[in-house]
Every structure is written in C-alpha cells, then in structure tokens.
Structure 1
C-alpha cells in the first residue's frame, strides 16, 4: 500500500452524484429519441438501465457504465455510420454542456481530494463520459488544478473496461500500474483496474454499484471517497 503513488477516479457516482446529475439529462435525450412520446421514452430509459420503482439506475447498466456511443447504438440501432456518428457528436456536446453545467458533488468529495493531493499523489479521471465533459466537470467543481489529466471514452482507443486509460496515465506520470489505485462505483471501473494490473482496486457505494456487484472485483469497498484518505493512511 505504501507504493501507491497515483489514483485514477471514475467521475459519475464517484466524484459526482450520478442520479442527481444525470437522470434529467437522460430523460431529455430519451424524449428526443422517442419524438416526445412519454411512454416510449420510459421504455428507452428502462432498457438503458433506469429502475423506475427504485428511481435509480441499475448497477453496470448501459446508462450507468456505458458511453454515449453505446446509448446511441441502443436507442438508434438502424442508423447508418455517418448519421450515427453525427448523433454521437451531438450527444457528446449536449452531455458536456448540461452535465458540466450543474454537477452535483458528492458529500466529502472535495475535502478528500484536497487531502489526497496534499500528500503528493498524482490524480486522474477515467470516465466513459467524453473527455470534454470530464474536464469541464472538474473545472465546475473547482478541483481541476489537482488533476494531472482526465480521460474520457474518446481519449483512448478502447474505453473502460479496457486498460487503455491505465496505460495512458502511466505514460503521462511515469508511474507503474502497480503504483496506481483505481476508484469507481461500477464493475467496469474495477474490470479496468484488473485488466491494467493496478495495485489497488477500490469500489465505492456512492453511485450505482452495490456491495454485491463490486466486492468480487474490489480489494476494498468503501462508502465513498470521503473514506479513502483514512483508509490509505491506515494501510501505510
């Protein structure tokens, strides 16, 4: 544990309240896809992973863990490549503007980041949102200066759960994968950690994942990143 020199964080559900930030945005996109038909929009949200009874996104669902490209492929399966890419670009623009405009930060997140940064740890973001959305969210939260980089699904050849972002962050910082911790609320985050050979895989219960869905892949499951500085200090 003393060899951990850097941390990659998932964004939504880890730094930002996923449900509070993203349900309204997803609802607007679903209504657009359904041409304003409320019942059809609800069906699209359901197939993308929204549980209307629990009023939350299901763990590891497409909306919780996938990319905008995944959502477009799910909701617009018959689009040709050109129009599909144009729609993905539009989704990226919309989610970047709306998601970064009103991100709801999770309790204790800012203090935890300040504490971790003060110890000299190199910090990065690994998200299946767009890179632009990630960077603007960090700016909106007032924490961008603490991060070496933010990697969206469009910054690497293969997004989570592939290990590309781990390797990109290591290339940037000069760290080895074994010197990194990966922190996230979905199995995609932890699968990337395992595929990339990181030294510590941390699941957090502040997003869409559950203890059952995370514990099989995580070295430790915490309530949120607010608990991370204390955990790392105790293991040193």
Structure 2
C-alpha cells in the first residue's frame, strides 16, 4: 500500500490531489513534522532487534537505514529506540533525489562508507526494498518476514528470506564460513 512503501509526498498527493504545488509542499512539510515527532514517539522495537543491531555493529558491519519516511523521522526513531549510535546513516525519501525503489540510497551509503554496492547487503521487508537492492547492484538482497512483506511477495526478488531480522547475524556468520 501507499502507507507501507510510499513517501510522505505520495501520501499527500493521494489525500490532497487538488492542492497547488506550494500548498502541497507546505502539507508535506507538516506531514513530515507530524510523522517524525508522533511516529518516533510511538516506535516500538521488534523483539530482539536492539540486541541484533548491537551484534552486527560489534562485528564491524556498517549499518544504514533506508526509508520512504522522512530522514528526520528515521533519525528520531533510531534515537527513541536507543540504537542511533549503531548506524552510519539514515536516509529518508527527502535525503536523496529519487527514493526507493531507485538506487540513490544505496549509492549515497556507498559514497559515505567507501563500500562497493556488491559489498552491501540490503535487508528489507517489502518489494521496494529489494527492488532498490537490485537497482543499486547490492551483493545480497535479504527479505525478512518481520514487516509488511510475505514469503510469496518477496520470493521472486530476494536472494534469501529470513523469518526475522534477528536471524541476520547467524545467517551472515554461516555465509562467511561458507566462503572461507
């Protein structure tokens, strides 16, 4: 749905199709403000996710967030959840020229970290995430069922599907052992 994968601009365009461009931008700014403050205040971490992120960070993985919400909302949510310090970057739809599923966020993350796209694993719970992984040339597209996607909706585009993001450290450890 537009709420699961669209940007705040997409939502405003849907709700208020007759606004002038100026009024539409004002509405988007207000919607960004509301969703970043109220949305982050209501954020609840998936069970085990804080520990999982800590594990990945301790293993020197570079972590980033790509969302079609606002950058401010993503950053505030990371702070609310107590994990902001684990991330190199958070990219909202308003931080790049073209939001998901375009590859812009992957390119921005690679520019920041010095990684090549083939060294990046994109973990996502919907097709937009995995389409971005493919468009950006990511080395691994991991679908997770701990969000809005289903095994059926992710199967055709994911390299692997995990039940939850919390399964990621074990999966990555096993994958590294296979390549050694």
TM-score by length of 2: 0.97
**Distance in 1 (alpha carbons) for counterparts of 2:44 and 2:54:** 18
In the alignment, is residue 74 of structure 1 matched against residue 14 of structure 2?
Answer: yes
1:191 is matched with which residue: 106, 131, 136?
131
SS of corresponding position for 1:158:
coil
The structure whose residues are more often helix, as a share, is 2
Structure 2: where are the runs of 5+ without partners? none
**Distance in 1 (alpha carbons) for counterparts of 2:160 and 2:48:** 19
2:97 is matched with which residue: 153, 157, 161?
157
In the alignment, is residue 213 of structure 1 matched against residue 156 of structure 2?
Answer: no
**Counterpart of 1:114?**
54
Matches within 5 A, 1:7-86: 61-86=1-26
2:112 is matched with which residue: 172, 179, 204?
172
Structure 1: where are the runs of 5+ without partners? 1-60
In the alignment, is residue 100 of structure 1 matched against residue 40 of structure 2?
Answer: yes
**Distance in 2 (alpha carbons) for counterparts of 1:110 and 1:223:** 17
Q: Give the aligned CA root-mean-square deviation in angstroms.
A: 0.6
1:89 is matched with which residue: 26, 29, 45?
29
**Distance in 2 (alpha carbons) for counterparts of 1:216 and 1:171:** 29
Tell me which stretches of 4 or more aligned residues in structure 1 moved more than 3 Å. Answer: none
Q: State the 1:108 CA deviation.
A: 1.2
